[in-house]
Structures are given as C-alpha cells and as structure tokens.
Chain A
Amino acid sequence: MAFLQIAHLEKSFGTTRVVRDFDLSIEKGEFVSLLGPSGCGKTTVLRMVAGFETPSSGAIAIDGRDVIALRPNQRHIGMVFQAYALFPNLTVAENVAFGLKVKRMPADLRAARVREMLALIGLPDLGNRYPFQLSGGQQQRVALARALAIKPHVLLLDEPLSALDARIRVSLRAQIREIQRELQITTIFVTHDQEEALSISDRVVVMNGGVAEQVGTPFEIYNRPATRFVAQFVGTLNLIEADVIAPATGTVRIGTTEVSLGRPLPAGRVTLACRPEAVSLGAAEGRPLLLWAEIGKVEFLGAVIRLRAQAGRTALSLDMFNRPDTPPPAAGDRVQVSISPADLLVLEA
C-alpha cells in the first residue's frame, strides 16, 4: 500500500461538488503536484489532507493509518501556505521553533534543531529578524523551515510561490525540490502554473472541475495528454482541423494536403494537436505532412525562437533553436513546415 492513500474523496459545499471521486496514491518520498486552474478543487484536496476541511465522503490514510477523524494538530503534517503565514510577532527562530515548543521539546534541543533548519534553507544568520524584515522569498523559506522542523510525515505546499517575483519563483522551486530530495519527504504541491508543476514533480495530477483528468509523470502529461483539457492546459498546443477521408488507414485531409497517420481514426472531422517543437521549418525525412505557411510574428525567447505562422485557416506556433549560423525567417516570408504523424495527437472533436 502506498504511503499516502486517497480513495474516492468527495467534497461538496452546499450543492456544489468541488471534488469528485478523487483517487491518488503517493509513495514514500515522492513529490506529487496537483495542477489545475483556480476553482478546480486542488486546494480543497490539500486542505482535506491537512484536516482543515472534512470530506463529504472517501478515505485518506497516511502510512496505513486512517486520518479522517484526526484534527489537523494530530496529523503530523507540515504545511506551507500561499503567503504571509509567518507569525508576525515572533522572530524567524521563534517561528521555526513554534511547533517544537508546542510539543514541549527541551530548549537546548530546540535551539539545535532551529539552527539545523535555518542552515538547511540557507538563512543561518537571520534567526533574530522579524518576518517584516524579510523579503517574500526569505519568508517562504522560513515557512518551509517551520513546517519541516517538526519532522512531519507529509509536506503540503499550497501555492507557496505564487506571491513571489518570477525570478525568485524559479530559484526557490529548485531549492524546495533539493531540500525535499535531501530529506526524502513525501510532498504534495499545489499550483496553477504548469511549468512549475512539470519542472519540480515526480508525478503530476491535472485537475479540472473537481476531477483528476490525468495522473502521470511530467513526460507523460506533456507528451501524451489523456484529455483535450490536459493537452490545452499544459504547454502550448497547435490545433489543426482535419477531415478523415479513409478511417481505416487514418488518412486525413488538411486544406489540400492529404497524409496518412498510420492508425485507425473515426470518420468525419477530427482535431489534431501538436506541440510547437514538433513543427519544423522545411521538409525533412519522415515528416510527410508538409504545409505552406506565412510567417506572422517572430518571437525571440533566448535559446529558442518561436515563430507564429498561418497555414490556410490554421494558426501554427513553431519553435526553432536559436543558432547564430541559421537566422530565422522574417515576418511575411512564405515557408514550408513539416510535422511527423507520430507527433500528432488526435483529440475527440
């Protein structure tokens, strides 16, 4: 049995079902993200695990022990909130020591543990500061130290980065992951930022409308989205309308181009989808789907250049690596682009 087991979890507020039949198993030491738009129920799931919300039905077990009936202060869970959850009247050291003091740990052990935690988050000298004297990123690191000080069985992170500047967000998420690996602590991370979820997690749960649409590794979520919602929510996606002209061989017509996808398709109209990096400039071996397109915009993103092009009625985004010896096409150029049928996802129409 998994370390953290959530089964058939339901939560309704009044007549609104915010979480529906939610299942999730998390192994010990695993880092799992709940990803979805606001109102998708991800925070409610987290708060039910923490014990702040009582499930309408379903089970939550940690280390084989049912925790539904336990109060939050009995569950032995660490939690980091969105922002500003440090106690403003206590210093950094006192904040970190809070959970230990409440558990009546002797003062000398407590001090040692606080020193250890502050060293872990890389702020060994700020113990005597008050929260208002820290930057937002430092505050969240202290909040992490405070949550970890009690050596919790599970760590819950509720959008801990969303109130921070973009640059700090990236460096802090790397630090969080590093600390999590070092301590081997089972972690649930809630976010609405797909890049964040993909970059940090062992597995990602994409949620929508209270339902887990897909559970998988970042690689699976990105490359093999199970539903149209997942495909569109995670990463950029090109949508191509196509008519199926031979369902058995999977031959479709896009504009005037006909190409076989090599797998059976339903008859009628389908929507094909592909990532910007699956679209290449120019013709190439193994890429039988060739389209003429007019370059609209050229966006320089650093290592990658994103081109916006129009192929008939289809708008395409495509990425090319930025190499000094191959300058990108200019806006208005007519170019040929190619896609491998293997990279095309078929979305239910």
Chain B
Amino acid sequence: MTDATLAEPVAPAPVAPAPVAAESPAPRPRRTAALALKWLGVAPFMIFALLFLILPTIHIVLGAFQTPEGAFTLRNLAGLAVPQVVRPFMLSIRLSLLTAGLGCLIGLILAAAVTRGGLPGWIRDAMLTFSGVASNFAGVPLAFAFIATLGRLGLVTVVLKEVFGINLAATGFNLISFAGLTLTYLYFQIPLMILIITPALDGLKREWREAAEILGASGAQYWRMVALPVLWPSLLGTFALLFANSFGAVATAMALTGSSLSIVPIILFAQIRGDVLQDPHLGYAIAFGMIVITGIANLVYIVLRSRAEKWVR
C-alpha cells in the first residue's frame, strides 16, 4: 500500500489494466483488484486528512491525558480548574453564545427583509454579494477597521464628539472590551448567517404563507407556527457554526485588544508561543477543552436537529 503515496492525487489509473482479451466480458477475478483500485482513488485525500487534520487533533487530545513522560494522567485536566483558565473559558463561551445568537437573529431579520419584505430585487443580490465579502473580511483588517471607526480617534468617535458633543468614552463604551469585541465579531457573524439562511428562506414555499393567511392566520402566527419550525434545523446548524467560528477566532481579538482581553484562544496562543503557564501539557488540556466545547455545540445541534426534523425523511 506504500504506492498510494506515490500515486499522487491526479487522475486515478484506468479501471481495468485488462490482461485479458478486450472482447471477453469482465471476468470475476478482476473484481477484487477493481475494488482495491476504487479505494486507492480516495487514498490521497485520506492520507492528507489523516496527516494534517486528524492525527494532529488526536495528538492534542492524547497529550491532554499524558504526563511529559507519556504516562496516563488526569492532572492536566485538573489543572484547568484554576481561575486564570476558567475565566477565559467562561468569557469565550459568553462571547461566542452572544455573537452567535445575535448574529443569527440579526442575520435572519436582514435576510427575511430582503427575501420576503417586498424590497427591490437588486437589493437582495447586493446584500448577498456584500455578505460574501464581509463574512471573509475577518481577522486583522477587520480589527483595524473598527479601531479606525470606534477607537479613540476613530471616525464615529470624533464625529460624535465634534458634531453632537457626545463623548463616547464617557458613556462607558470602550472598543477594547467585551462589548467592543462583540460588536466587531458581529461584522462577520451576521453576513455568514445571511449567506446560509437565505437559501433556507427561499425554500419556504409561497403556498405555505398563502395557505396560512387564507386559513385566518396573521403574519406573526404564520412565522410562529410554520416558518420558524421549518427553518429551525437551519437556524440551529448556523448557530453551532457561528459559535465555533467565534470560539476559535484569534486574529481579530489579537489585533483589536492585543492580549488585554483574556479569551481562550489568546491564552492558548500565548501558551504555545511562550509557555506562559509553565506547563506544556496544560496547553494540551486547554486545546482539548476548546475541542470539547465546540464538539458539545455541534452535538447539541445534531441532537436538536434530529428531534426537530422528524417531519423530514
């Protein structure tokens, strides 16, 4: 099977090396060879996924349960139960829940407004295109944009002070804070929601709305009894995705706050860079904790979805 690595991921070899005369109908013995070849076709992908996705993750998970000498231990996980680790985890979970929740809600409202709200068609196209851009405009440049807008010398801060006489800092607002980070994260969370939920909104049939209406339902009743239940699985899935998206984000927070706001990815980043916690295996434990949290988010999603979707095949 070592050939598999050599057979680089180009077009798989012809199905039958055909040692038999061409006219004879496919003889049985070739089937096992064909089967092996079938699996060889996905070998490059599997090897890639194993080496650069699955093994590194497993290595982290195993490391969380090992002493530096390689013996099994639970001490690393127990080491998580200190305030300087627990607090970042709570902060990250709150941040992710909040931005995912708000992202879903606001994204749904905006998507519903452009798909169902009777607005001109070009607005919908423009919104989708912009969402594609904004959902990818994350990380460092996004932080810069918000600093340039709401930072101490930012456009909005200055305009508010000079034109309206409002001192933003005096109102208690600070961009380098939980609220500031939430506001910034929403810039990519909302567009992501719009991108995912718009096709789902398109899937709502006009007949459902009309049937509900003529049966006497108000718009709100239609949304509560039909549209939202139908959208529920998509909403849950997007929520889980937005949660993980925000939970693992490093660059935006780093560029926005330096390391003054202790969220988990920043703690882990510092740990990897400089071993600030004086214990390499505590780093494993933190990483493992992150996997567990995003894993739970997705598990909750899968369970809720299977319950919500009893009306689908």
Contacts and interface: CB of A to CB of B under 8 A. Distances in A.
A and B touch in the complex (CB under 8 A): yes
Interface of A: 50-52, 71-73, 75-79, 81-82, 84-90, 98-99, 101-103, 130-132, 143, 146-147, 150
Contacts of A82: 207
A89 B311 contact: yes
A102 B207 contact: no
B79 interface: no
A147 B215 CA distance: 7
A79 B207 CA distance: 10
Contacts of A76: 216
Given A102-B221, A132-B311, A132-B313, A87 B208 contact: yes
B59 interface: no
Given A79-B210, A79-B211, A85-B208, A130 B216 contact: no
B312 interface: yes
Contacts of A71: 213
A125 B148 CA distance: 66
Interface string B76-104: 00000000000000000000000000000
Interface string B187-225: 000000000000000000101101111111110010001
11 contacts: A52-B210, A79-B211, A85-B205, A87-B225, A88-B230, A98-B225, A99-B217, A102-B215, A102-B225, A130-B310, A132-B313
A130 B214 contact: no
A72 B230 contact: no
Contacts of A147: 215
B34 to A, nearest CB: 37
Contacts of A85: 205, 207-208, 210-211
A99 B216 contact: yes
Contact of B207 (A75, A81, A150): A81
B229 interface: yes
Interface residues of B, number: 21
Contacts of B311: 88-90, 130-132
Chain B residues touching A, majority SS: helix
Nearest to B230: A89
Contacts of A99: 215-217
B226 interface: yes
A71 B225 CA distance: 20
Contacts of B226: 87, 89-90
Nearest to B205: A84
Given A81-B211, A88-B311, A98 B217 contact: yes
A186 to B, nearest CB: 15
A136 B25 CA distance: 44
Given A84-B205, A85-B207, A132-B311, A98 B212 contact: yes
A73 B217 contact: yes
Contacts of A131: 311
B216 A103 contact: yes
Contact of B214 (A78, A86, A87, A132): A78
Contacts of B208: 85, 87
A346 B312 CA distance: 57
B214 A73 contact: yes
Given A84-B207, A87-B208, A132-B311, A75 B214 contact: yes
A150 B229 contact: no
Nearest to B210: A52
By Cβ-Cβ distance, the 5 closest A-B pairs, closest first, are A99-B215, A85-B207, A89-B229, A130-B311, A81-B207
A142 to B, nearest CB: 11
Given A86-B211, A130-B310, 15 more contacts: A73-B215, A79-B210, A84-B207, A85-B208, A87-B230, A88-B230, A89-B226, A90-B225, A101-B225, A102-B212, A102-B216, A102-B217, A102-B225, A132-B313, A146-B211
Contacts of A52: 210, 213
Contact of A88 (B215, B218, B312): B312
A323 B214 CA distance: 52
Nearest to A80: B211
A84 B208 CA distance: 9
Nearest to B228: A89
Contacts of A130: 310-311
Contacts of A90: 225-226, 311
A162 B168 CA distance: 63
B230 to A, nearest CB: 5
Contacts of A78: 214
Contact of B210 (A81, A86, A88, A132): A81
Nearest to B312: A132
A73 B211 CA distance: 10
B277 to A, nearest CB: 49
Nearest to A75: B214
Given A85-B205, A130-B311, A73 B218 contact: yes
A23 B208 CA distance: 30
A143 B218 CA distance: 19
A87 B217 CA distance: 13
A90 B229 CA distance: 9
Interface string B281-313: 000000000000000000000000000001111
A77 B213 CA distance: 10
A130 B212 CA distance: 17
B211 A150 contact: no
A73 B214 CA distance: 5
Nearest to B226: A87
Contact of A73 (B213, B310, B312): B213
Contacts of B312: 88, 132
Nearest to B229: A89
Contacts of B229: 89
Interface centre among B207, B310, B313 (most CB of A within 10 A): B207
